[in-house]
Structure 1
């Protein structure tokens, strides 16, 4: 077995287990640090019919509406992060789920487009009048149609490339069997110098690499997460796809209370229990800064740019 990013055949088994399929091994490349699974069992049909974005189903399975509330908070944070880049711009969200980010971004953007395989989300997009492509191929066809209809002057203004100024992909790239190939296709949707904002889980999350929390290592790995990236491998991914890498930023989505709850009780959602008296903006910023200094936040955000 070769590493997808660097081709090395040297790897070791990481501690932990894949929560929905313990027979799958978690491997880490000794050369570049890419974390990957020993088996890949997902495909387009899995995502189209999987019900991964059914909010009512999430509630029925877990009894926790706070998971849905978390998604609103995360999408609000994402909007604030990219707001300067999307005001008055044409944007496309790849793996857009039930449209949570696009619903918040639409009032600020010139136009929005979602790309989502899962069929049951379509009603949400119709409700909010947001165009939806059910596949990357359909999105490419839409982009090509827009280009064909444009005047020669408009083509010149768009930089001669695709039709979108900004493409976002939040917690999607880790699901892709061929992320380099998909990133190259996504780049064709962008105008020249168009930007991609990529958000992924960090393979070097402190709960895995510093605190070495057994409970977390048996919870966080999941069979649809085929690859997990660290700051180095995420940068390398963008470069291998032929994109300029503007930055890779370490971000801590979950506060210190969540970390402490994992360490003391082996369970998530500590912020729901202890956050009221423990978490504050100053503490969160300090905790994030400390983890970022060693590349061990729970999340990475990269900005790639079409050359």
Structure 2
């Protein structure tokens, strides 16, 4: 392997952990070529070096949603993603938004903002997609394409910033967090969620899980607690912590073992609510969940 340095911690001890096709958009779409996935042996972050796309152009166009979900329409976005709002409110709580200036970074058509707009003093949608910007403006939300644009008007003024499933898409995570820091007021808080490497699923399924779901051309990074905490420190946050959340239930894991493909949250009659809760809580308690949320304070 040629000389390489970790972009997150500058460590030079890098391992190639995967060499094969990875997901390229939606389920069942793969790269034409094998892709190397690398992992830093110091901070644990995982990444690939595919940088063929102009990311600004890609995410401002309809290409991203078309490749991922087969549609970029506003109504289809709500149909697909409205159900995630309850999960996001579980990550954030509700009291944090009351009478506050709130920004959602990478908000798409604004489904999460819709759920908190009645509580917040001001709602700011930051979203590069031209289609979704139109939807946000139609709702009367303050709308910006990028955090760097929002900083010009709201730098140092935002009370609470949320960002879900975004940081893994950006080429420079440190700059991403520095811009979050710049938007927040003193003692302002940010809640940033991202998928983990789902270690239990990888242990059970190995390269099947990695190819079919985990590793993706659109996800440049897979973060863990150590890499996120290091980034938060470098970005200048005075406080930082993480929480683990398990989104998918026991039925999902069993269906993976049966079908070797992602089937979402699958129900089996023998899986009781208690069994499912224990599955999720144990993975969260052991830091083995499929989702991690970084909480930071300026």
| TM bracket (short chain) | 0.7 to 0.9
How far did 1:58 drift? 2.9
Q: Taking structure 2 as the reference length, what is the TM-score of the superposition? A: 0.86
Query: d(CA) in 1 for partners of 2:66 and 2:95?
Result: 31
Match of 1:76 in 2: 86
Residues 163, 292 of structure 1: alpha-carbon distance in 2 compared, 3 angstrom cutoff: same
Aligned length: 281
Residues 194, 170 of structure 1: alpha-carbon distance in 2 compared, 3 angstrom cutoff: same
Residues 113, 122 of structure 1: alpha-carbon distance in 2 compared, 3 angstrom cutoff: same
Match of 1:260 in 2: 254
Whether 1:215 aligns to 2:219 is no
Whether 1:119 aligns to 2:130 is yes
Whether 1:247 aligns to 2:241 is yes
Whether 1:282 aligns to 2:294 is no
How far did 1:295 drift? 2.0
Whether 1:87 aligns to 2:131 is no
Q: Is the 8 A contact 1:41 1:224 kept in 2?
A: no
1:178 to 157, 165, 172: 172
Unmatched segments (≥5 aa) in structure 1: 145-161
C-alpha offsets along residues 31-71 of structure 1, whole Å, 9 cap, x if unaligned?
2211011332342111111443469x93569xxx7x96552
Q: Taking structure 1 as the reference length, what is the TM-score of the superposition? A: 0.83
Tell me which stretches of 4 or more aligned residues in structure 1 moved more than 4 Å.
67-70, 278-281
Query: d(CA) in 2 for partners of 1:132 and 1:54?
Result: 22
Whether 1:128 aligns to 2:128 is no
Query: d(CA) in 1 for partners of 2:267 and 2:105?
Result: 32
Q: Is the 8 A contact 2:62 2:131 kept in 1?
A: no
Q: Is the 8 A contact 1:17 1:219 kept in 2?
A: no
Unmatched segments (≥5 aa) in structure 2: 25-30
Match of 1:2 in 2: 5
Match of 1:154 in 2: none
Whether 1:167 aligns to 2:170 is no
Query: d(CA) in 2 for partners of 1:278 and 1:53?
Result: 36
